[in-house]
């Protein structure tokens, strides 16, 4: 989003008359000049797409980043990429992810910090699966403040537990994600969400940034509800 900032500056210059009253010596520079600065200033709009495992964060993120030109940052995807490359971080994270537990805050905060650094020209970020604890929320706010920006809105998708389990077991048939194949692990992920992550919405509601969205229905219906909330806040 660009703002054409029009600055009108009136520069009063002292009119200097010589002692003989004849003439203006100094009408040196314009008493009025209009400086039209068409410098493009980019205002970032940052979104947290929030919800339990299987609520549709990844599905909706793909559509939202395309529509709004945002940079998608999914800590789950970043961690799976570490696992695929068999990095020490990935191997450590896999242990926890396979049990449905969160990986340590400092790991994901470090990943997000690097990703923000790596995208200095982003129009805005769409955070998916991050933040997941109060410590992560506070760290994110600090990182964004350094970039002179902030979270615009947290969109929380609400889906019943039985629907989540059904969706994830179904995805587990083809996704290759080890945390999708076992119902016990899926339920452990949901418990972890309730215990440690729901507080993130409380954290942002103190700044009046939380909007709840019905996360059941067709993908298009949910997308339209998300866009309508974003449009209200972006304008």
* Burial (CB count <10 Å: 0-12, 13-18, 19+), residue 208: exposed
Site for ligand AP5 in 54-113 (CB under 6 A): 54-59, 75-76, 79, 96-97, 100-103, 108
Contact with Mg ion (CB under 5 A) among 4, 22, 38, 58: 58
101 DSSP 8-state letter: P
Query: Which token pair is 15?
Result: 């009119």
Distances (CA, A) of 193 to 30, 50, 145, 190, 198: 64, 11, 26, 5, 6
88 DSSP 8-state letter: H
Name the segment binding ligand AP5 (CB under 6 A); options: 19-27, 125-133, 146-154, 204-212: 125-133
Query: Is 51 a binder of ligand AP5 (CB under 6 A)?
Result: yes
Rounded least distance, CB 76 to Mg ion, Å: 5
Per-position x/- string for 24-43, each x denoting binding to ligand AP5 as judged by CB under 6 A, each - no binding: --------------------
Measured CA to CA, the distance from residue 229 to residue 186 in angstroms comes to: 30
Interface ranges with ligand AP5 (CB under 6 A): 51, 53-59, 75-76, 79, 96-97, 100-103, 108, 129-130, 132, 136, 167, 171, 179, 189, 219, 222
């Amino acid at each position: 989003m660009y703002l054409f900032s029009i600055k009108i500056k009136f520069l009063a210059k002292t009119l200097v008359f010589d002692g003989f009253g004849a003439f203006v010596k100094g009408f040196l520079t314009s008493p009025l000049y209009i400086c039209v600065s068409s410098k493009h200033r980019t205002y970032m709009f940052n979104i947290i797409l929030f919800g339990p495992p299987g609520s549709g964060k990844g599905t909706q993120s793909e559509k939202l980043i395309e529509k709004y030109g945002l940079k998608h940052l999914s800590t789950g995807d970043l961690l799976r990429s570490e696992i695929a490359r068999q990095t020490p971080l990935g191997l450590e994270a896999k242990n926890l992810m396979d049990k449905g537990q969160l990986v340590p805050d400092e790991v994901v905060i470090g990943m997000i910090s690097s990703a923000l650094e790596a995208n200095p020209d982003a129009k805005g970020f769409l955070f998916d699966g991050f933040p997941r604890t109060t410590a992560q929320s506070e760290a994110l706010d600090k990182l964004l403040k350094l970039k002179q920006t902030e979270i615009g809105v947290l969109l929380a998708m609400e889906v019943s537990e039985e629907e989540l389990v059904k969706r994830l077991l179904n995805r587990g048939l083809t996704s290759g994600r080890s945390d999708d194949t076992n119902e016990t692990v899926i339920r452990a992920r949901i418990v972890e969400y309730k215990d440690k992550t729901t507080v993130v919405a409380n954290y942002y509601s103190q700044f009046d940034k939380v909007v709840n969205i019905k996360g059941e229905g067709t993908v298009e219906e949910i997308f339209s509800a998300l866009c309508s909330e974003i449009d209200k806040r972006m304008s």
